Amino acid sequence: MLLTRFIAILLLSFSISACSWFADKLPAPDIPEQQLYEEAILAMDLNDWELALEKLQLLEARYPFGRYSEQAQLELIYAYFSNYEPEAARAAADRFIRLHPNHENIDYAYYLKGLTAFEQDRSWISSYLPVDESKRDPGAALDSFESFNQLVTRYPDSQFAPDAQKRMVYLKNRLAAYEVHVARYYIKRGAYVAAVNRGRYVVENMQETPSLADALGVQVEAYTLLGRQQLAADTLAVLQENFPAYQYTPAYKAEKTLLDAATFDLFSDSEDAPPPVAVTAQSVPKPDRSWFSKLTFGLFDDEESEAKAE
């Protein structure tokens, strides 16, 4: 009898505790689709992006073919963008474009995709500090330009096309400046052919950018260093014809000699940041002077050159 009572009490205790254990695991009651959508929109109006994302994701999961499904997917892109989740926003945009290629608001998806990469390219540091954008990785800028270009090309009458075109101008200027920066780096590294190719790319594809003159100047310098005097002269003629007042700072700098390092450049005629000079075929730095010339402060340069000539 006592054993029976003990078993009955044990079973009752187990059943009560089981209810508490599994209470949190019970499925949440179904929320109507319209209610979920309205709650998500309300959260977006209040800038509560975490709650908005939660509602939109729940709506998409429970009603994948519902009345608000497509609109929820579109709103999801903007919610990710506003919540500073660029990778998720771009993935959501790609998914919407892939699933709904003929949607009436697909231009908005392209615009948000481009805008996400645009803001990703402009780091918060550049908003407060004078960061040289031409030296930063242009990966996000390229993605943004491609998305905006697709929008403008496929949907020229879109209400987002004018803003996309303005942003494309900025992005093109930024990409051209980056190409020139890389070309100058190649010159410093002695890769003159690669520098010419970078400059030529800007000249052929980005003629309307402010970096066009710099690209021509880089080509003049690289051609001169390669010993291609005729090509350098032809490019220089184009540069002077289109930008007569332009001045170019050579990128080439001869390597320091042992004497320069030992004397802390006391006898060196090169500077870390040479002043701007008019671009001519002769503006490219000459090879280093001899040790004798530096030690004698150039007093016997003429005699030395005459001796070499003899």
Structure confidence by residue, pLDDT tens digits, 203-216:
999 989 999 999 99
CA distances from 287 to 4, 6, 113, 183, 269 (A): 106, 102, 50, 21, 10
Q: What pLDDT score does 17 carry? A: 52
When the pLDDT of each residue in the chain is averaged and rounded to a whole number, the result is: 77
Other beta carbons within 10 angstroms of residue 198's beta carbon come to 25
* Mean local confidence (pLDDT), 67-86: 92
Secondary structure E strands in the chain: 247-248, 277-278
3-state secondary structure of 103: coil
* 192/222 Cα distance (integer angstroms): 5
Q: What share of the chain is helix, strand, coil (3-state, %, to 5)?
A: 65, 0, 30
* 175/178 Cα distance (integer angstroms): 5
The amino acid at 304? E
Q: What pLDDT score does 298 carry? A: 52
Chain centroid to Cα 47, Å, comes to: 27
* 103/147 Cα distance (integer angstroms): 17
* Mean local confidence (pLDDT), 222-245: 91
> Is the Cβ–Cβ distance between 196 and 225 less than 8 Å?
no
Does residue 89 surpass a pLDDT of 70? yes
Q: What is the pLDDT of residues 245-293, one digit of tens each?
A: 888 888 876 554 444 444 444 444 444 433 333 444 444 444 445 545 5
> Is the Cβ–Cβ distance between 225 and 191 less than 8 Å?
no
* 145/169 Cα distance (integer angstroms): 9
Q: What pLDDT score does 66 carry? A: 84
Q: What is the pLDDT of residues 120-140, one digit of tens each?
A: 866 544 555 445 555 667 788
CA distances from 73 to 31, 80, 145 (A): 18, 11, 23
Other beta carbons within 10 angstroms of residue 295's beta carbon come to 14
How many Cα atoms within 13 Å fall on the side-chain side of residue 192?
Answer: 16
Architecture, CATH, for domain 32-123+132-159: Alpha Horseshoe (1.25)
Does residue 306 surpass a pLDDT of 90? no
Q: What is the DSSP letter of 307?
A: H
Spell out the domain ranges in the chain. Answer: 32-123+132-159, 191-257+267-298
Nearest to 154 by CA among 91, 108, 95, 98: 108
Q: How many residues does the chain have?
A: 310
Q: What is the pTM of this model?
A: 0.69
CA distances from 289 to 222, 224, 226, 296, 298 (A): 21, 19, 20, 11, 9
